[in-house]
Amino acid sequence: MNTKELLGLKVKEIRRMRKITQEKLSEIIGVDNGYISKLEVGQNFPSIGTLEKIAKALDVELVELFQFTTTKENDFKTEINRIYDSLNREKQFILYKVAVGLEK
């Protein structure tokens, strides 16, 4: 995976954790809706000014947008909690039931 793709995934991950839609983020930073979509799939690479606006809108330090890790490198509990928090109530319950099933 290249840097543009990793950056896009990181923006998407943080945006979802903050429960901000692509449309809302594009409105906050002053770009059209399609720009965020293309950024998140690695088709766009923003200027430093746009990166600063994205970081501010997502309430993170600019450097955090470039801290790429893979699931293998992350603490699994942290990753599971992040996934859980991004799900709706119904899917959270399904994840819970899977975890309970694995525990047996």
So what's the pLDDT on residue 71?
Answer: 46
Same domain, 18 and 46: yes
Same domain, 44 and 84: no
Which domain covers residue 28, as residue numbers?
3-66
Biggest alpha carbon–alpha carbon distance for the chain: 51
The first and second tokens of residue 96, run together, are 């819970």
* Cα(86)–Cα(1) distance, integer angstroms: 23
Same domain, 13 and 48: yes
Give long-range contacts, CB 8 A cutoff, 24+ apart: 64-73: 64/10, 64/14, 65/7, 65/10, 65/11, 65/14, 66/7, 66/10, 67/10, 68/6, 68/7, 68/9, 68/10
Same domain, 37 and 75: no
Among 11-15, 75-79, 92-96, 100-104, the least confident range: 75-79
Q: What is the pLDDT of residues 8-58, one digit of tens each?
A: 999 999 999 999 999 999 999 999 989 999 999 999 999 999 999 999 999
Same domain, 44 and 95: no
Domain total in the chain? 2
Q: What is the pLDDT of residues 58-83, one digit of tens each?
A: 999 999 999 886 545 556 777 788 88
So what's the pLDDT on residue 72?
Answer: 53
